[in-house]
Structure formats: C-alpha cells, structure tokens
Amino acid sequence: MGATGVSASVVTRATSSWSCVRARGSRVACARVGVDVGRRDGARTTRARDAGRGATPPASSRRDWDACAEWRGRRPPSAETLGLLDASILALALPGLAELLLDPVMGAVDTAFIGKLPGTAGADALGGLAVSTTCFTFCFKLFNFLAVVTGPLVAAKISANGGRDSPEGRRAAKKTVGNAMALALALGFATMGVMEVFTDDLLAFCGASHSQGFLEQGGAAMESASVKGILEYGEEYLRIRAASLPACLIVMVGVGSFRGLLDTRTPLYVALLTEIFHLGLDPFLIYGFGPMEGFDVAGAATATTVAEWIGALWFWKLMMDEGILDFKSVFTLPDGKDEDLGMLVSGSSSQLLRTVLLQTVLVRATSTAALLDAAGAHQVCLQAWWVTLFGLDSVAVSAQALVASSLGKRDVAGARVAADRALNWGLGAGVLVGAVVFATADHLPYLFTNDPEVAAEAVTPIRILALLQPLNSAVFVGDGVFQGSSDFDFLAKAMAVSAGIGIIALTVAGHMDGASLTTVWIGMATLMFGRAATLGWRYYKDENSPLALAPGECTVYWDDVPTNAIATQVETVTKTETETETDGAVVVVPVDEVDAK
C-alpha cells in the first residue's frame, strides 16, 4: 500500500462496496467507502464521507451489514469501555447537576420565604410570586438557545484548532462567543423594556386579574378577592425582576461557552457565588432587619436581581481570562458574510420556537390553576418540578457533549452507545428521585409554605410528579441527545405536537366538572407522554434521524470481536480502494494514490 503512516489490517474482497477495517485505534468499523479530498493549512488531507447515509444497499451488502450488526449485538462494548464512558458521563454530570440545581433553588428559596409571611398575606403573596415567576420564566426561557447552541459551536471551534489549551483554539472561539454575547445583550435589554412597559398585560396573560366578584368554575361561584392581591404582588415582583434579564442571558452565554470547553465546574462556581449572595440578601429584604422594614415580594425580587448581576459580571471576567471573550468581539458589528453569526441564528430559530411552545404550555397550566384558585399550591408544585427537572437534566448535559463529540468524528454508532448509556443513567436517576419525592410528598410542601390548606392541595399533584420522574428523565436525556446532534428542526416539530396535546388536555382539565389542581397536573403529564413518544420514534424508528445507523455504519469494538470473525463474516472494499485512519477518523483514498505517496 505504500508508506501512509497509518497501520491497518484490511481483509479485501472484490465483490462488495462495503468495508470493515481494523485500524490503529480502538475499534473495527464497517463503513461504505467514498472519497473526499480537501485542503487545510496548505496540506492535503483526506476525510471520511458518509456516502451510505440514507441509501438502501444491495442484497449482498445487506447481508454484510446483518452479519456486522449481529456481532455488534452479541458482543457489546467491553466493561472497560463502558467504565470509561461512565466516568465521562459522571465527570460532566456531577458539576452540572449542582449548577443546574442552583437555578431553581433561587426560586425555591424565594417561595419558601414568601410562603411563610404571617397571616393571609402569605397565600396572596405566594400566588403573586407564582404568576410573576411564570411570566419571567417564559421570557427568560425563550432565549435558552444562547446556551444550547453556543456550546456545540464553541466545542467545534476549539477542537478544530488545537483544543482548549491552544491559543489558536481560544482565538477561534472568541468570535463565536462575542457574537453570542452581543445577541444576549441586545435581546436582554430589549425584552427588559417590553416587560417593564407591559407588566399588567403579561400578568393577565398568566392568569392574574383586577376583576372583583366571582369566577364561575364547574358551576360553583368562588369569591376572587385574592386575585387582586395576586396581581399587585405580581407587579411588584416582575417590575424589579425584569432588570435581571440581561444578566441572566449573559450567564447563559457563559454556561454554553464553558460547556463547549467541556468545563462544567466553572459554571458551578459562578452559580454557588450567585446563590450565596441571594440567600444572604433574601431574609433581610423580605422580612426586614432591626428598624428596617421588609419589602415582602419586592424584597425577594431585589435580592434575586442583585445576585444575578453579580454572577453575570463574574462570568464575563472569567470568559475574558480564558481568552474567549473581549470587548472588541462583542461590540464589533458583524458583516453579511459572518458564518459564525449565521450558524448561531440558524440553530437558534428552531430552538426558540421549541422553547416558546413549551413555555406556552407552562403558562397555560399556571393560568388554569389561577382560575381554579389554586395558584399558591401550583407554585409549590412548580418548584418541586423545576428542582427535579434541572437535577435530572444534568445527565442530558453529558449526553449532549458526548454525542456531539462522537458525531464530530463521524462515529454514529459511538454516539448511540453514549446516548444509550446516558439514557440508562437517566432512567436510574429518575426512579431514585421519583421514589424520594413520592415518599416525602406529605411533607415536601411545607418547605415552601406554612399554610396547611395550600400544602394539602399540593400533595396529590406532587405524587403525580413523582410517578413521572423516570419518564421525565428519559425525555430530558433525549433532548440532550438530539441537541448534541444539532437536530433542532425536529425538536421544534416534536414540541409542536406535544404542546398541542398538552394545551388541549389543560383546557379540558380547567373546564371539567370537579376540576382541581390534580387535573391540571394530569394535563401536564400528557405533555411529557407526547414528548417521550416523539423522541422515541426519532431515535429508534426514523431512518432520517442523525443518529440512525445506516447500513455500513455498524461499529464494533475490536477488543470485543475476534478479528478472524470479521474476516469470515464481512466482505470489504474493492481492490481499487482501501481505508486508513487519521486523527481518529476513518478516511478513504484510492489505492493507486496511496501507493504514489
């Protein structure tokens, strides 16, 4: 074959266009061959081409694929391989778990302090907090694409230019981070202005109203004097909390950037600092201290806003210290040929639509609970929902990073192995969390309220939430898998289907006889079942999925499958082509060209 600098043992046979190769590295790969010759830094390079994607092979090739798949099924990755994968998942998930948990903890801390205000003010204030935080979360979550899309783009820039320790890699990522930060500032301040001007309209959309008298629900008249109190408390909170939105979006860019560096520890440290300030300020600003009177809900909003800006400014400094952000990259206007900005916007649009649909369902649930005079208990359930959601979502962070890394090497089967392993971890975590929440359902509400009626009303919905935890965890991991594969268009379409089902269920739940907060959370469960169904179909059944194993993409680990078995079971490339492996990627070049080298 000539001097290629790559060792490979290849079994050849002239009757097939499919190949299996044992190359220097850690696996035997069966792949359809193709040629893609390009240039990088003046040097001629070869890259793998996924020529077989989406095509149906001839019958002989199908037999080769079946044989390879059979070996893959009979001999899964070794315990050592899975152990290394588990270590990678945990190394990314554990810091991510703590960091993700601290975000809903801020809301849970506010809920706990507000819910313990003396007298009837606690229930009204808790209802106002529920409506206003739902409005803020709706606006805030619209822009979560800043973290979801920035992370993979930064990872691609870094890996293509020498890694995190390379100055070239950090310089390459700087433009992407700068564009993301400029977008975050523009969106943050613009949305803050909208929230300040249209506060009453937003709160009304989320279920609060100035109306007096009675609300007819299920044929029973319910006095709604508390609704006015809910709106007033909500206005106090939302007008102050809106000032933290630019800071929240800065933090999003920071989180995405450091995840792109495969660093989940730094976001954890920033989140810890933020929560320390928040927890320290909350009791003094809510209840008062000495001669200083408390500010109730307004105090909670002020404490949260100050803490968010402290975290945002520290994140900005850390990104500058890392060399992936400077003022020039943020405040320089992009030109029309800016590919980084184009990729950011392209990936963000579908993610934005998906987020709008999800938040619409959550707002619909809150407004339905408010109409049922159950806003306070619903806020308690929402806090339990967010804490468990973000906790389980840490495994999805690992799945996203590992899938993106494997697909970057064109290793679809490796991506599926990582996704399957992350799913196993996610299901296990979901069962554990669900069991704990179910067992503590009678006592959990008292962490957020001292009103026995509110606590009692939240118990059954929390038990429903507990039973959903394994399903929720699987959905979150599925989101991470398809975000890692940049399948944002599908995620938006799947959410449209699921959200439609959820909104219909919540509408029915709010108008049926005997409607209660329990029926609202049964409606929420339909959203998660819809999401699980669409994601499962894409992963296991859809041949157009970016994670579909096309014939010839069966990858088996060479330490698990005897070489002579591959030789006897699988036909390989024609005599005019061969395969090598360079930098972890299988490449294909004509034999005569290799010999010429």
- The pair of three-digit structure tokens given for residue 122, joined into one six-digit string: 């606690």
Per-position DSSP letters for 203-220, written without gaps between them: HHHTT-----SEEEETTE
Residue 557 lies in a domain: no
Same domain as 236, residue 103: yes
Cβ-contact 279, 109 below 8 angstroms: yes
Calculate the alpha carbon distances from 531 to 94, 173, 351, 428, 535 in Å.
25, 33, 15, 19, 6
> Which residue(s) pair with 29 in the sheet?
21, 555
Number of folded domains that form the chain: 2
How many Cβ atoms from other residues are within 10 Å of residue 326's Cβ?
Answer: 14
Measured in Å, how far apart are the chain's first and last C-alpha atoms?
A: 9
Same domain as 237, residue 158: yes
Same domain as 304, residue 173: yes
Same domain as 122, residue 46: no
Same domain as 423, residue 301: yes
Give residue 512's domain range: 80-540
What is the model's pLDDT at position 487?
Answer: 86
- The pair of three-digit structure tokens given for residue 434, joined into one six-digit string: 């669900």
Residue 302 lies in a domain: yes
What is the model's pLDDT at position 209?
Answer: 61
Residue 555 lies in a domain: no
Query: Residue 123: CA atoms inside 13 Å, Cβ hemisphere, count?
Result: 16
- The pair of three-digit structure tokens given for residue 45, joined into one six-digit string: 């390079």
pTM over 0.75: no
pLDDT in tens, 364-405: 898 888 888 888 888 888 888 887 887 788 888 888 888 877
Same domain as 223, residue 112: yes
Residue 558 lies in a domain: no
Closest CA to 454 of 119, 126, 108: 126
Per-position DSSP letters for 119-136, written without gaps between them: TTHHHHHHHHHHHHHHHH
What is d(CA 584, CA 70) in angstroms, rounded to the nearest whole number? 24
Tell me the average confidence (pLDDT) per consecutive run of 10 residues in the chain, 597 residues long.
33 31 36 32 32 38 45 61 84 79 76 76 77 84 84 75 77 88 94 93 75 37 47 89 95 90 87 91 88 86 95 95 90 68 72 84 87 86 82 85 74 83 92 93 86 90 93 93 86 92 89 86 92 93 80 44 38 37 36 37
pLDDT in tens, 254-263: 998 888 887 8
Query: Which residues have C-beta within 8 Å of that of residue 165, sequence separation ≥ 6?
Result: none
Same domain as 424, residue 571: no
Per-position DSSP letters for 359-377, written without gaps between them: HHHHHHHHHHHHHTT-HHH
Calculate the alpha carbon distances from 101 to 82, 90, 94, 263, 468 in Å.
27, 16, 11, 17, 18
Residue 550 lies in a domain: no
Same domain as 577, residue 515: no
What is d(CA 309, CA 271) in angstroms, rounded to the nearest whole number? 12
**Phi-psi domain of 267 (left: phi exceeds 0; alpha: psi -120 through 50; beta: other):** alpha
Same domain as 61, residue 96: no
Same domain as 196, residue 69: no
Residue 551 lies in a domain: no
Residue 552 lies in a domain: no
Residue 241 lies in a domain: yes
Same domain as 370, residue 459: yes
Query: Which residues have C-beta within 8 Å of that of residue 224, sequence separation ≥ 6?
Result: 209, 211, 212, 213, 214, 215, 373
Rg of the chain over Cα atoms, rounded to whole angstroms, equals 27
Same domain as 69, residue 87: no
What is d(CA 409, CA 406) in angstroms, rounded to the nearest whole number? 5
